[in-house]
């Protein structure tokens, strides 16, 4: 990556009023949170694809909750990294600012971001399988022998508030990100593999409707080729540098 690419992206960010940031697993990985997929992703002999499905939950809700408890513990022990912190720092500097994240770990909120759309849900929340109420998980859930959690309103079983394989997004979530993309004059995508399509489609939609599109990624993906600028490197290194430069240009 030449410094002129960073300079052009910083110039675009400094002139922007409306910003959308889309983040993926790479940003969480820099905080030590594994993707829970692929090689080495086994838990008690199961792959994520065998646990994060409606069928797996119907067959054995105890097992699925146990897996989420373990994952939640990892998230609770993790800290936001410089990418999360830079994104949170940027927010008050713009007229409108949204983070649309594929990550479920809650680290953007912990870093101080406010306007967050959690595309794939949140590991710290539950949703009632009966009435649909979404709420924060109580701490009791973290005990190893915790019973299956039940809804305080209707008594039905609670499930993790996560979009599983084979499920569609929660109503309004993608629409909100789409609207932010349409309004944005600067869209930045960080740490996505570009294989999770809807968030990428949202980013490209932003570009089509006039936004300057930046991809922050150590690798070159199909998105990097289409972006106005591809900043090669880890989000935790690139984002602070980009924001520092953009701020100095404002």
Active-site residue, selected from the candidate residues 120, 124, 161, 230: 120
Q: Which is closer to Zn ion, CB of 90 or CB of 151? A: 151
Beta-sheet strands, E only, within the chain: 18-23, 96-101, 116-118, 121-128, 134-136, 158-162, 186-190, 212-216, 229-231
130/240 with CB nearer Zn ion: 130
Nearer to Zn ion, 8 or 156 (CB): 156
Spatial distance between the Cα atoms of 203 and 223, rounded to a whole number of angstroms: 9
> With respect to Zn ion, which residue has the nearer C-beta, 117 or 128?
128
The answer to whether 142 and 69 are in contact (CB under 8 A) is yes
CB atoms within 10 A of CB 214: 29
Task: By CB under 5 A, name the binding residues for Zn ion.
Answer: 128, 130-131, 151, 153-154, 156
Active site residue 84: no
Torsion of CA 52, 56, 61, 65, to 10 degrees: -20
User: Which two tokens mark 70?
Assistant: 């373990």
Bridge partner residues of 135 (DSSP): 126
In whole angstroms, the minimum distance from the beta carbon of 156 to Zn ion comes to 5
Catalytic residue numbers, as ranges: 120
């Amino acid at each position: 990556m030449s410094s002129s690419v960073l300079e052009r992206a910083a110039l675009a960010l400094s002139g922007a009023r409306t910003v959308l940031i889309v983040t993926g697993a790479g940003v969480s990985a820099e905080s030590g949170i594994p993707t829970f997929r692929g090689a080495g992703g086994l838990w008690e002999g199961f792959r994520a694809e065998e646990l994060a499905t409606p069928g797996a939950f119907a067959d054995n809700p105890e097992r699925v909750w146990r897996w989420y408890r373990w994952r939640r513990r990892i998230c609770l022990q993790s800290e936001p990294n410089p990418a999360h912190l830079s994104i949170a720092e940027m927010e008050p500097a713009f007229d409108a600012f949204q983070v649309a994240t594929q990550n479920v770990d809650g680290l953007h909120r912990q870093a101080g971001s406010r306007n967050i759309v959690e595309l794939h849900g949140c590991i710290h929340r539950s949703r009632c399988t009966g009435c649909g109420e979404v709420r924060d998980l109580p701490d009791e859930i973290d005990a190893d022998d915790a019973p299956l959690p039940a809804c305080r309103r209707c008594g039905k079983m609670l499930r993790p508030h996560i979009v599983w394989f084979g499920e569609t997004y929660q109503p309004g979530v993608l629409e909100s990100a789409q609207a932010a993309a349409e309004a944005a004059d600067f869209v930045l995508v960080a740490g996505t593999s570009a294989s999770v399509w809807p968030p990428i489609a949202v980013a490209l939609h932003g570009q089509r409707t006039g936004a300057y599109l930046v991809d922050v990624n150590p690798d070159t993906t199909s998105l990097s080729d289409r972006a106005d600028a591809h900043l090669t490197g880890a989000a935790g290194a690139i984002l602070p540098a980009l924001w520092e430069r953009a701020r100095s240009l404002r």
